[in-house]
Structures are given as C-alpha cells and as structure tokens.
Structure 1
Amino acid sequence: MDLSGFFIVAPSVVGIGEPFELKLKLLGEVREIPPECFPLNQTEPQLSSRYNLSPRGLAFKDNVLPEFEGSIDLSGGDGYEGPATYTFEGGRRPIAAIPGIRYTQEGFHYITVTANGKQARSNPIRVCQAPPVERLFWGDTHAHTIFSDAIRSPEEVYGFARDEGFLDLFSMTDHAEALTDRQWDYFVSVANDHYEPGRFATLVALEWTNFEVGHRNVYYPGDYGPILRATDSPYQDLEGLYRAAREHGALLVPHHSANTQMGVKWHAGHDPEMERLVEIHSVWACSERAEHQGNPYPIRVQDGETDGQHVIDALNLGYRFGIIGSGDIHDGRPGDDLSSLQNMAQSHLTARQGIMGFWAKELTREAAFEAMWNRRVFGTMNVRVYLRFEVCGAFMGSTVRHDGPRHIRLEAASESPFTLIEIVRNGETVQKIEPGECEILWETQDGGSGGMDYYYGRLMREDGQMAWSSPVWVES
C-alpha cells in the first residue's frame, strides 16, 4: 500500500525554548477492519469484540498504513530546533510522537513533513516570548460506543482519542437511556481511569436523549455524577433535567439543533445558568444557520433541517451560548473520524466531525470545565486553527458594557489560507474580508444597533473547512 498523506498535530501554543512533541500518522487507503478478539499483529488496529457491530450498519475503518519502513523529513523554518529526520522500523502501523522539538523565535510556525514525494504542514504553532499564561487545547466532547448505536468499547474509543486522534480532552457521551446503573458506573470509571493531568483530560458525561424537545449532553465538573435518563420519571422533561444539572453543577450542551427529527425546540425551555454552550457542527453537519441563509453545510440526513431551530435563532432569542464543534462520532474515531466514507447510501452519510478549541491555563479536568463554563471556546470542522476574538477588549464568551463604536479584534492562523472571514452581528454579516493568507490580524470597528448586540467571527479556509468563535455580547 502506498503512502497517501499525513495526519499531523502540533501543540497550538508553546513558549520560546519549550520542548514539545510532534504527533503524526502516515496514511494509506481507507479500508474496513474486521472484528477480532485476539491481537495477532501490529499492522492493523485490533477490535476487542467479534460482536462489535452497530445498528446503524457502521464498520470500523482505518486509514493508517499497515506498516512503513524508512525515514520522513522534518523542517520547521526559522528558529526550528529538532530532528531533521525520523525513522520508522517497519512491522507496525506508523504512528509516532516525535520528541525534542523547540523554537527559538516567537511568532507562528509550521512543521513540514515529507516522505515518498508527499508533503504536508502541521497546524500553526504560536511561539510566545514569555511562558504562556494560557494555552489553546483541543477536545472532542461528544461520542458513542457499542453500548448504544455505535461501535467499539469505551476503552477503545478513549484510547483512540488520546493516541490516534491526538486530542487533549475527550468525553464519552453515550445515550444514557441505553445504559443500566451498573454500566454507568463502569463508564464513569473508564473516564477517570484515562484522566492524566497535563497529558490527557477527560470529563464524566452522558447524552440525555429526548426527541420531543431536543438532545442535551451533560458534563459533570468532577469525577462523578448521576445518570440522567429521559426515560426515568425525574428527568423526563427539561425542568427535571435542569433541576438535576443545578444540583450537581453540570453543564448542558444542546446539539444538532437544526435537524428535523432530532433537533432542539428553542421555545420549549432554556436554563441560562446551566445551558452555556451549543454544538454548532458535528458529523450531522452544521446547525449555525439555514441553507437559504448561506450555510454551505446544512444538515441533510434524518429529514434535513427545520427553520427556527438553528444556532442563530437561539442567539436571537437572547440565549447566551458559547460555540463549540464536536464529533457525535459513532465510528469509534474521535478526533479523526471517517464517517463520510462509510458504505452507506448518500442520503445516510454524515459529514466531517467538529472539534472544540478551548483556552485554559493548564490541561486538567478542572481547567477544561472552567473554560467551557466561561465560554472561552470555539468550534471548527476538525481543523486546528488558532483563533482569538475580542470586542471592546472582552474575550469571546464574555459580556461587556460599552457606549460608542465597538472595537473588534480577530487574530487567526491556519496551515490552509483563509478565503473568507466575516464578523456576524445579531445573526447578520456586517463586515467581511477575503484575505487569502494563512495568518490574519484584523482590527475594525462597528457602530452597533443601538441596543444589546452579540458578535462572533466566522472563518472559511481555502479547503472549505470552517471555524466559528464564541460570541461577545455588548450592552449599551
């Protein structure tokens, strides 16, 4: 099998001289991996159950070369200090974390990987002159397992998130209604077993699955929380869910809101204290706005989308949602899904997964939860762009009181050039640029509507992938 490309992940923020690892996978053709109880070799992923089947008809697919023997070349531009080559010895899947890399110059940097005529760049690395006060981390906070309607065991999915999706944060949100009390205790234990502060953070979480008013993911701040099933009488409606969330300090996140079958009825209820984020993009596609409003990735499966259920509709109702992307993956591959390549009819194929960027002081469960709670987050279509967005000096997710013109600052970087960046105010694009560059610092002003306004940034890359900042709310 020939090398087709690379999956490369570098840390988004480091200090000058700070050593870090470059994580990468060498890719080949996408192929289906059969279930197998007994690991026999290191050239294919091993599935832990012969009955690892999904009612959705999903199969586990892999795109890493079965093996690779030889060297790859590494180059990092000005200030790069690290290996110029890395060698794979063969006999196993070529997945590596290459240590001992650092930069001696501040600014944005990229590491280029070359092998067998193929070349790719890492995500941008922001090198800071001083030790970073906060860093940009990456998480997928929405996934399912064989216990509901997906594939792979919880341990396998956590392992993939850490070791192949190269995520900093992961949480399993399986459908609570599919789990017994004993199984829930097991899910909690698996989340806690995989938590490694400083390396890999996890959250205890579940999905509350109510088709009448819309699904919510539930995230607990600590190492335990009760199972909340929409089929249990205390939690059958939103009031019961909100009551439990307030009691346990849980964060609630509605998702795939625009979908006709599974979407969110915004007028059915809202708890502004506990519902602080919304999932704008996942494998179901984008719920930001309707297709007729310019959404290039509307939800098409499960009877498509319904007007009035988009993220913009909730924001226009006054709901103060931060914005995240997530996977909602069912194919066992958080952080690097292959959902759109399943052997299914086009009408049932899902989209590229989403991912969440979050700004935090450290990689711990507490810091990740705090970043989500304070809306210091943004969503992308599984691309690790650098993004900071401020209005009147207030960081995304904040509320600020200001009279007069609003100063807007958007800083972004990506390995693929940005073709369109828009400032959205109250659901409408009020300013836009077409930079055609990989690094952007855009400062502008807006006069506002005369009342309370929300602003967020919408970014489109040359390859069609998108990102959305969380809003800033400005009160006059």
Structure 2
Amino acid sequence: MRVSFIVASDSVKIDGGVKVRLPKGFAQPQSLDSNAANYVAARVSNPKTQVVLTQISRVDPQVQWSAENNAWTVTAVVKNHVLYRGDTLQIIFGANPPAGEIKAPYSNCSDSIRVACDPSGNGVYNDIAPAPVLTVQTLAPYRLAAYLPSSIAAGTQTPLKLVALDELNNLAASFIGKVQISTTDAAAIFPSEIEFVASDSGRKNIAVIFQTPGIHTMNANALERTPRYLWQVQTNPAEIAAQPESLKIFWGDLHTHSGFSYDGYGRDAFFAAREIAALDFYSLTDHASFFLKGNSGLLPREWEATKREVVRFNQPGKFVTIPAYEFSAMPPSGHHNIYFNAADEVVPQLPLLRDEDYEQIQNVWQIQDNVLPPGVEMITAPHHTGILWNGIEGLGSLVSFGRGFGDAKLRPLIEIFSSHGLSEAYAPEHPLSYKNLSPESGKGSSRGPHYAQNAWAAKETLGVIASSDDHGARPGQHYNGLAAVYAKELSRSAIFEALKQRHTYATTGQRMLVHFDIEGALMGAQLLKEPPYRPQLNVRVVGTDDLEFVEVLKWDQRRGQWQGAHPRFEVIHRREGEGPQLATHYVDSSYSGTAIYYVRAKQKNDVFVPRQKRNREVWAWTSPIWVNDAQSLDTAETNVLPRRLALKRSFPNPFQESTILRYYLPHSGAVEANLYNALGQLVQPLLRDFQNEGWHNLRITGFDLAQGIYFIHLKAAGEVATQKLVLIKQR
C-alpha cells in the first residue's frame, strides 16, 4: 500500500517532511527488518534527495491528531536535497512483500488516512485536506452461516437467516448462487431451494413454519461451492413448542468496541450485530475513557452518535439495542460495563459517566439516582475480573468481590467468558485461561480472589453472561462469547429484566440450548428452604455438536473447603455425553441449609478461530441457583434480606424535587403504591405492576404537588407498608 505525496508548493526543504497516519486497526509498522511483517519504507522520485523515516509512534506532538492506542503515525523527513514542485514522496506500507506485508484490520471498513506536511523544515506540520479514504475490502466468499431463533411456537412463521461470510467472518456481499434447504421437521413449510442474487448483498431471510414440537435444526447447502464443510451448514438447535412459551431464549453480545474506543477500530457495529451475526439484542460498549487518560475514550459527540444508533436500530420483536459503555477503572473496581434501560425517547438524555471523573464503579452506584433521568434503570457487570495484562501480579484491572465491593441490585451479573479468557475460577492452565486463549499476548491470571467462584463464595448473587469484548466492530463471532437470556419477549425492558433477575447463561459463542432449574425455579433464582429439604435439580443441554459432558457444581457456604484464597466448588453430578442432547436429574441429599448450584457443559469438538488460526473449546455455564435457610439470607449488598415486605426510609426526605422509595418484595407478585395527603385523600396512584422478588426503587416527583406532608401506602405480598414524606418547595 503506497501513500504518495506530490509536491504542489515551490519545494519541501531539507528537514521538512510528511507524516502519514493509517486508520485504526493496522498493525504497528516497523522499518528495521525488510523480511519481517509490517515493514514500511519511504522513497522519493528525485534521485538527488534522500528521505529518512525518523519516527513511528502512536502519539505525535507535532500534529493535533487525537491519541489512539492502535493508530500509527509514520514520519518521513527530507535530507541533503530539497524536493521541487512535481516531485513525489512515497511511504510504502507492506514494502518487500510477501515477507514485509502489512497486517490490516480484520473488519472490512472505510476510514480516513491522515496526512500532514512541513514544507519549510521548521517542525510545523499542517493537515492536508481532504483526507484520502482507505477501504479495507472483504475477501472472497468463503462459507455460509445459518441461524434460527432458539424458541419457536409451532405453526408460526419464523425467519431462517442465511449469511455469506469471507474467511475472516466479514459479510461477503458478492455471494450469488443457489442454496438447498432441509430440516429435521418433516412437516415444516419452507422453500426447498432459494437463490442469492446481487441485490441480496450476501444475506437472506427465509420464512419457515415448523409444525412438529421438539428440537429441530435446518441445513443449508450452497450448490457448486467447495469445500462442502464450509458451504453445507447446520443451524443452531431450536426448540419448537406446541404453545408459545412464557419465557423464550434470546441471544446477544453485550460487550464490543468500535473505532470510538481508544483501542478499537471499525464502524457499523449495530448493522453487523443484526445483519451479520443475527443477534436478538446488542450493546456497543466503547470505553467511556481509558485508564484515567483524559479524552482517550468516548467523546461527547461520539456518545451522542452511539445513542442515535441505539434508537435507530431498536426494533422490539426483531432486534433490541441496550445503551451502554465501558467504565475502565483501576482496582479494586476493575472494568465494568454500564447498561441502561430507558425508553427510546429518553435515550438521548443518558449521561456519560467517565472513570476519570468517578474513578471507581462503587462511586457511580452511589450517585446514579442523582444523575439518571426519571424512570431510567442502570446495572453493571464486571469482566476479565482476574486478568494480569503482562502476566505480572499487580499489573491488571482486578475486580474485588464481597461486602463493601458489591451491590446485589446494581451488579447482578459477571461476564464469565470473553475473547480475553475465562473468569470462572483461578485456573491458569485451563485451555480457556487468559494465558492459553492468546499465548502471544503475555496475559496471565491473578492468584487473588477475583473470579466468579470467589464472588459467589463471598455471597455476591451474580448471574453469568459471556460476550465477545471484540474491538473491531464485529459482534457475535461464533468463538468469542455470547449471552443467552430467558425473557418473556424481545424488548429492551424484558431483556433488561431478565438480566436483572439473572435468568441468563453464557457460552463461548455457540448457540447451545441450556435449561437448569430446581423444582421449577429457573437459573438465577434464590430459594428459601429449611433442612432436611433435598433440592431436585433438573438439567437439559442441547449442543450445536456432540456433548463431551455436563456437570453440576456446588458450593456449601458452611462446609465448603478452601484452597488458599479460592473456594473449592464440588462437582456433585456429572454425565458423559452421548450425542448432542442430554437431560439429567439429581437430588442433593447433602443440603445443609446454604448452597449454590450451577451447571457447565462442554462439547467434544472445537471451533476454528480465523484470527489466530487455531481451534478453541466450546463451553456453556449457567447462572447459579441459591438455596438458603433463614439464617443464611445474607447478601454482600448490605445486610440480611427481609422475609416480608420491607420499606426503607426514602431519600432524600424531606425533598424538594424528587425522592427515591426503596422497598423489598419477599416474592414475585402484584404491587400497588398510592400517595395520600395528610387528610387521607388519594392524591395520585404511583404504581400498579407485577414485579419480581427483590429490592426495587420508586422515584416520586413533587413538581405537581403542593408543599406539605404526604403518605405512601405500598401494598404487596398480602401486606401494607406506610411512610411519611415531607415536600418542601423552593421559594
């Protein structure tokens, strides 16, 4: 790749020169070894002139370009003889191919090349406009991908999504050709053959009606394409129900980055999530800032652009967007993603909470009621919680768990797996550990208590998700991590509620069907059971390939054994796989009054990772189910959970504009809240809803109320709670 600068002024004098910055995502150029990758060289057309590459850097004080972690500026300086009008200076990236080829971004995208010139040799470089645009093109069509929704009602029309991809999993829009379709449901209605034409741009939705309840898949066979294993593909398994299910499985990627991140690149992530990865829900989580580096993350205009995309792409019932960003703090907070539940019309008002302003995620939790628009909810989830960036203890973004660090309402989840590795437990030799997932990176695992199992043993009630943590605007890759939720519908509020309730499981990227309950209480539940109760665990896993094993793990808060700083979760039940489906039941006769149970499963065959040109294991993990007696109902949020309706003192009270009422529901059910004046007259109904067990907040505003004394009446769980409020108007 050559960037040519033609002298249009009178001359470029000695010590003058040109600076060129490639778009984000290109590998770091080097000028020392022409036989090594990413070699860069400079040439001039004037034989009397010598040109020297003097600097290759990410930050260059001689130009006013933003600091980026993955955009490299190359400086070429004129020596011994001036360049005259019409002379050409070239900077050649990937000189001496094939050995010196430049490593381009994996995402196909277009972005500007920045060029600046100092014609006078005085060190003052000025931008050249307009900036040329570089397009990283898609490779030739390489394979086909096929997706079905995981939960389908028999007799209803559902889409089979077919996508043609290149070798790096970019959309291969040039693909044309015929594709044969078949299914395991002999009674299903669908076209047996379809044809991709140029206007399809490499993607096509096919209407299918399944008729037979059970687990089904579909096959797509691109005719006249080889090798067959790339072009004759099977969908993820789908469960066809005789009647619509009350809870359905939806798939999403809740952690990805684009070029707005300091260390990201690429654009159009929302389009890629919907059209290429065929996800149900998606969050773009660019860095709000980056390790306290000022203006190194989301700029205000970039956050505004992200929010516009959140609203533009949100289509309840088809594709759901959740506004979010990453809060990248130092220990003990570590890295968290912040997610918001807000109506589309409120999304533009969402604030940007930067770690350089608040430093720790716990500080964000404390001020969230004061900075969020009315009616907006927020949750957070930590990720790569035990990672050491250079394999050296202390050099990481470690997350601390337990009393004083957690919040059961605002931190209900942990990202247990991503492209960085596995955060289930301290297991540095695991094939999915931070070190082994990318050996060339130098990453390692902290020996400290910074993993999901540590959090659970410290009484944090965290459900699990996985997501990609992709940095190239390429969400939903089949090897990088996906989050599955059980939700009543595909809407932002329903997905958000499922995340809050921890009705979630995680996979390494394959869309496996996983169900785990204890006597009907779904993964994520908290049960109150006194010994000699015997939990009956029900597990079912349907893989995208043959299963190697499925196992149930347990932690007993009273009797559990420790190995140093780490709890030793016990495998209490294990079944070897015999094909892609496995169902098992287990009764735990050793329950002593406090236990945590979760399920993990592994498939026999790995998947291929194009970027690393190596295979990766396929796993799934469920959120735990907590079973406790009355004595052990303690959380890491504050103190003992109430066993009946509880109403905390509202804050602030007295209040001027608004106050927050915090209450606890001992079980799911109808909730009613009304506001009365001092005479006992109803002023306004505040809430009539069905809500899940747990802590809830209700914001009460005083804009339309007169100054005075009011009373809240809260009805739920067969009880009534009352609280006095004092409204003071500003004069």
TM-score range for the pair, normalised by the shorter chain length:
0.7 to 0.9
Matched, 1:236 2:359: yes
**Equivalent residues of 2:379, 2:411 under 8 A apart:** yes
Secondary structure, counterpart of 2:546 in structure 1: strand
Partner of 2:177: 70
Q: Whole-Å Cα distance in 1 between the matches of residues 266 and 191 of structure 2?
A: 36
Q: Does 1:202 align with 2:343?
A: no
Contact 1:392 1:400 in 2 (8 A): no
Q: Give the corresponding residue for 2:308.
A: 189
Residue among 227, 238, 258 paired with 1:125: 238
| Other-structure match for 1:320 | 461
Classify 1:456/1:447 alpha carbon distance in 2 versus 1 (closer, same or farther; 3 Å): same
- Are 1:150 and 2:264 counterparts? yes
1:290 corresponding residue in structure 2: 426
1:11 Cα shift?
A: 0.6
Higher-Rg structure is 2
Q: Is the 8 Å Cα contact of residues 468 and 477 (structure 2) preserved in structure 1? A: no
- Could you say if the C-alpha distance between residues 282 and 245 of structure 1 is closer, same or farther in structure 2, counting changes exceeding 3 Å? farther
Would the aligned equivalents of 2:329 and 2:361 in 1 still touch at CA under 8 Å? no
Match of 1:470 in 2: 623
Following superposition of structure 1 onto structure 2, how do residues 195-274 of structure 1 map, counting pairs within 5 Å?
A: 195-213=314-332, 214-222=334-342, 223-224=346-347, 225-232=350-357, 235-245=358-368, 247=370, 248=372, 249-260=377-388, 261-266=396-401, 269-274=405-410
Tell me the equivalent position of 2:192: 84
Residues 176 and 209 of structure 1 are in contact (CA less than 8 Å); yes or no, is this contact kept in structure 2? Answer: yes
1:19 equivalent in alignment to 2:132 = no
Equivalent residues of 1:390, 1:410 under 8 A apart: yes
Separation in 1, partners of 2:483, 2:361: 25
Distance 1:18 1:231, change over 3 A: same
Q: Is the 8 A contact 1:110 1:415 kept in 2?
A: no
Q: Which secondary structure state, in structure 2, belongs to the residue aligned with residue 176 of structure 1?
A: coil
Runs of 4+ with >6 A deviation: none
Query: 1:35 is matched with which residue?
Result: none
Give the secondary structure class of the aligned counterpart of 1:174: coil
Q: Does 1:164 align with 2:276?
A: yes
Q: In proportion to residue count, which structure has more helix?
A: 1
Q: Residue type of the partner of 1:189?
A: R
Trace 1:323-342 onto structure 2 (pairs within 5 A).
323-336=464-477
Query: Would the aligned equivalents of 2:146 and 2:235 in 1 still touch at CA under 8 Å?
Result: yes
Give the TM-score, by structure 1 length: 0.85
Aligned in 2, Cα 1:92/1:18: closer, same or farther, shift over 3 Å? Answer: closer
Structure 2: how far apart are the matches of 1:460 and 1:245? 39
Q: Distance in 2 between matches of 1:400 and 1:378?
A: 19
Q: 2:523 is matched with which residue?
A: 396
| TM-fit CA distance, 1:246 | 5.0
Q: Secondary structure at the match of 1:437?
A: coil
Q: Could you give the per-residue CA deviations for residues 50-79 of structure 1, whole angstroms, max 9, x where no partner exists?
A: xxxxxxxxxxxx444453332111111222
- The residue that corresponds to 2:217 in the other structure is 110
Q: Report which structure shows greater RCO (CA 8 Å, sep ≥6).
A: 1
Aligned to 2:709: none
Residue range with higher mean Cα deviation, 267-276 or 457-466: 267-276
For structure 2, the residue ranges without an aligned partner over 5 or more in a row are 1-138, 290-296, 389-395, 436-440, 556-568, 606-616, 630-731
Note closer, same or farther for the CA distance 1:96–1:461 as it changes in structure 2 (3 Å cut). Answer: same
Deviation at 1:103, TM superposition (A): 1.1
Letter in 2 for 1:236: E
Q: Please name the residue that 2:205 is paired with.
A: 97
Q: Which moved more, 1:447-456 or 1:192-201?
A: 447-456
SS at match of 1:147: coil
Shift of 1:245: 3.7
**SS at structure 2 position matched to 1:136:** strand
SS at match of 1:81: coil
Paired with 1:335 and 1:430, the residues of 2 have a C-alpha distance of 33
Distance 2:543 2:221 in 1: 19
TM superposition shift of 1:92: 6.7
Query: Cα deviations across residues 79-114 of structure 1 (Å, max 9, x unaligned)?
Result: 221111111124774221112x01111000000112
Alpha-carbon offset, residue 204 of structure 1: 1.3
Amino acid at match of 2:459: G
2:443 is equivalent to residue 303 of structure 1: yes
Query: d(CA) in 2 for partners of 1:71 and 1:397?
Result: 44
Aligned equivalents of 2:173 and 2:238: distance in 1?
29
Residue correspondences, number: 425
Name the SS for the 2:232 alignment partner.
strand
Structure 1's unaligned 5+ residue stretches are 31-61, 338-351
| Alignment partners' CA distance in 1, 2:536 and 2:368 | 36
Deviations 1:352-385 (A, max 9, x none): 3111111111111111101101111111111111
Letter of the 1:322 counterpart: G
* 2:542 partner letter: A
* Aligned alpha-carbon RMSD (Å): 2.0
Q: Which amino acid aligns with 1:336?
A: Q
Q: Which amino acid aligns with 1:138?
A: W
The residue that corresponds to 1:452 in the other structure is 594
Q: Is the 8 A contact 2:250 2:486 kept in 1?
A: yes
Alignment of 1:169-184 (within 5 A): 169-177=281-289, 178-184=297-303
